[in-house]
Chains A and B, each alone.
Chain A
């Protein structure tokens, strides 16, 4: 197909929107940690962006979207973007190079989400090595399975914008890393107050804003499907925010952080379904996601899991719910796909297979990678470095002078 200026313009804009999500995660997480770690937390997201950007153009894109090898991984044909041109190919209306750029921003934000479990204790050098390994051996294969023509794509899995690829992979990988890296010193005993809630709220604003590009851009065109995706995305986010607010009101006072956590749970859950459901599906997804993620978060805290900033309980659990919901609520009126409610049991079975496979793959491979890096270089900083804080010990900077 010839290049379509409208589609191309929209996906360039959507790429910029999603780019902002990576530092957005940094600001969101940064505001939630103690004042001695806020720079470190924001920096980890910037590092994730830079690291994965380079990895992606060199070979990451090829692993995820290169010619299929056995349904498991992309071939190395597109290393250093060989053969990725500026003229649309096949049925596409945008340059392949733009698709590569758009997908790059997804890969970067996924590693940024994963920094949750490293909060306030990770050795910077180890994070860089681990991050490179993880994006290569966990993110790229899963992206290939789902979007690059791999085995889940061949089964016909529905994941519109990354419920599996981004949220399940980051969320469940965080749990595996937790087993290796352990709790922060004093977790559950000392007070660990968020250093700057307004900063966290700014980060969340960047996320919500960017998510319009994340889900709306995943239509890969400036069309009605993109508009529907944005509308249902916002609807689920808003419903999630309100539900979490009510739940936390019942248990005390509705904290601003709870309200935005509810929005993120709705956003994570609508992501895989955004191209297949209408606003009623979106409302339902937002309500269920906020409720279940709220329970998951309290479950985590009760069990003393220091998955500090809730990549698992919000992104992981929310994404998982959304992938399931897509198999239930998909309606042919939106994009021609149907789910369980339309009598399609087969679709739900595929969704469940995808969930189980990606959860297990994320847990197992990430655990091995984290263990390896820990044995060779040590994932954690020394105790006194952790006490002083990562801002000074890892970056030689102080946020509040």
Chain B
């Protein structure tokens, strides 16, 4: 089992959710986050004065899948969240040791 964590643009959340749903991945956790990448956010220039917006709102999506599904998930998120501009986000894949349901003793 693996956990795929994707940091994506908030405005792409719906498209990503829909794309994953079409591929049969329904369960997910969505968290509103703020952060920055290598560019240190966005710098706006006003008449030579710099204004830094150093953390940008993003959405974080967490989804736990079988090992063999990881590539499909990555491809699907890439295809649906990409704009080609800086700030499209990152995808991390983490190992998951166990998953237990709260409702029943499995």
Contacts and interface: CB of A to CB of B under 8 A. Distances in A.
Interface in A314-352: none
A387 B14 contact: no
Contacts of B53: 388, 392-393
Contacts, number: 24
Q: How large is the interface on B (under 10, 10 to 19, 20 to 34, 35 or more residues)?
A: 10 to 19
Contacts of B12: 190
A382 B42 CA distance: 12
Given A186-B11, A190-B12, A384 B51 contact: no
B42 A190 contact: no
Contacts of A382: 44
B42 A384 contact: yes
A308 to B, nearest CB: 15
B13 A384 contact: no
Given A388-B53, A388-B56, A190 B11 contact: yes
Interface string A365-401: 0000000000000000010110110001100100000
A387 B39 CA distance: 15
Nearest to B83: A186
Contacts of A384: 42, 44
B55 to A, nearest CB: 11
A393 B11 contact: no
Contact of A191 (B13, B44, B57): B13
Main secondary structure of the interface of B (DSSP, over half): strand
Contact of A385 (B11, B13, B44, B56): B44
A393 to B, nearest CB: 6
Contact of A387 (B13, B42, B51): B42
Contacts of A396: 51
A191 B42 contact: no
Contacts of A387: 42
Given A384-B42, A392-B51, A392-B53, 6 more contacts: A36-B57, A191-B13, A191-B14, A384-B44, A388-B56, A392-B44
24 contacts: A36-B57, A186-B11, A190-B11, A190-B12, A191-B11, A191-B13, A191-B14, A192-B11, A382-B44, A384-B42, A384-B44, A385-B44, A387-B42, A388-B42, A388-B44, A388-B53, A388-B56, A392-B44, A392-B51, A392-B53, A393-B44, A393-B51, A393-B53, A396-B51
Interface of B: 11-14, 42, 44, 51, 53, 56-57
